[in-house]
Structure 1
């Protein structure tokens, strides 16, 4: 960690904060502090400079106009790119996920992304709306991913990144085959819900990366209610 306090940065909530994505920040803060890991939550508006000394950076979803503006500002700011180069954790959702890639389509134009993930995004033939689920890439050691998707984009993964979910069992995800992408400590997903409330083990993985300790050394929490939520959603798909 950059300091004795875990610093969580919520990027551009005035531009990209749809479908309860701020919940990801709240989940990380709660799960850290329940383990006696003190946190500082920093919300950075689009007219502010993104802190360079932080531990986890989060960015959510939004519409085309705010998405393209956010990408331009983040490229000019450089803090997230620098943070990823220093092995800090970046968790991105939907429009924010596309921004982490090499390019994306917004407003019928192609825009440059940050290039932190080897992905490109364009438009799909239909809008992907509904529940999504699938088994997570085995290297991450996580249970089935579950969440809600609502996006018109399709994302294509290059050789320098891996899918978060190699094969979806329900939903569209990137391209009706895979969902999300990751490289190093940068993870992107189309899932709302918010994603970390639906997938607490994923939240713990991000925390473990940030504090430099294995997940099994973070300490156990009572996940009765989150597991009940997961089971209800997965049962509905079955």
Structure 2
């Protein structure tokens, strides 16, 4: 959060284009886990017809079909607000289609390369087979957050460039390439995990909060942790 605000400002980008899998849950859980720690929050819904504000603390992007994905990427590039927010230190969590378009390039439905927003050093294209089903991965040790679980439904294959690092290593599922899942660069995180990702993974939600506000107090295990363990037990 900025020095001039005590409220965590959560910006949900383009719910009219990028919200195929209940991605509003990510905003709600992030807000809840912040408020349980005494951190005030506000959630802004920024539609594709709106300018992206640069004053947010964390920006969330969700999944979408091919055509809405292309439109979202074009508007984010022309608007420039998300890129400026990252330059001033904001945190980003992008899921699936949102993950692909914040990279340097991604593929359309014919796998033609298109320019991304350019805030994460990844390149995405289309694989020969579709990745569908439960996915389990271990967040890299330097970030913390433990084992994560989700549902993937994509044909993307993502290559991570030298300025970014894998977010996690796959245990079950495809992710980027059968070996890694997601990527991060500074305070920008991307993942293929649906579910939504943060309700299913309290540790990942807390990682996003730490990137925004620094150290946070632990919480007593509750329904989020129970859901996480149930989903892991179902596939392991």
TM-score, with structure 1 as normaliser? 0.95
Q: State which drifts further: 152-161 or 227-236.
A: 227-236
Q: CA RMSD in A?
A: 1.1
Name structure 2 gaps, 5 residues minimum. none
Residue in structure 2 matched with residue 206 of structure 1 by the alignment: 208
CA distance in 1, matches of 2:161, 2:49: 33
Deviation at 1:220, TM superposition (A): 2.8
1:50 aligns with 2:48: no
Correspondent of 1:120 among 105, 118, 123? 123
Correspondent of 1:155 among 143, 158, 161? 158
CA distance in 2, matches of 1:12, 1:134: 27
1:211-230 CA-to-partner distances (Å, cap 9, x unmatched) read: 2x21xxx2232332122211
Name structure 1 gaps, 5 residues minimum. none
Residue in structure 2 matched with residue 139 of structure 1 by the alignment: 142
Correspondent of 2:182 among 177, 180, 183? 180
TM-score, with structure 2 as normaliser? 0.96
Give the strand-richer structure, 1 or 2.
2
Structure 1 residue runs of 4 or more that deviate by more than 6 Å after TM superposition: none
Residue in structure 2 matched with residue 100 of structure 1 by the alignment: 102
Correspondent of 1:89 among 71, 88, 91? 91
Contact kept, 8 Å, 2:99 with 2:191, in 1: the verdict is: yes
1:79 aligns with 2:97: no
Aligned length: 233
CA distance in 2, matches of 1:176, 1:208: 28
Contact kept, 8 Å, 2:21 with 2:195, in 1: the verdict is: yes
Correspondent of 2:167 among 161, 164, 167? 164
CA distance in 1, matches of 2:38, 2:222: 20
Aligned with 2:165: secondary structure? Answer: coil
1:131-173 CA-to-partner distances (Å, cap 9, x unmatched) read: 11121111101211111111111111111111111x3110010
Deviation at 1:73, TM superposition (A): 0.5
CA distance in 1, matches of 2:174, 2:134: 9
Deviation at 1:103, TM superposition (A): 0.4
Deviation at 1:5, TM superposition (A): 1.2
CA distance in 2, matches of 1:172, 1:61: 17
Deviation at 1:34, TM superposition (A): 1.4
Q: State which drifts further: 48-57 or 196-205.
A: 196-205
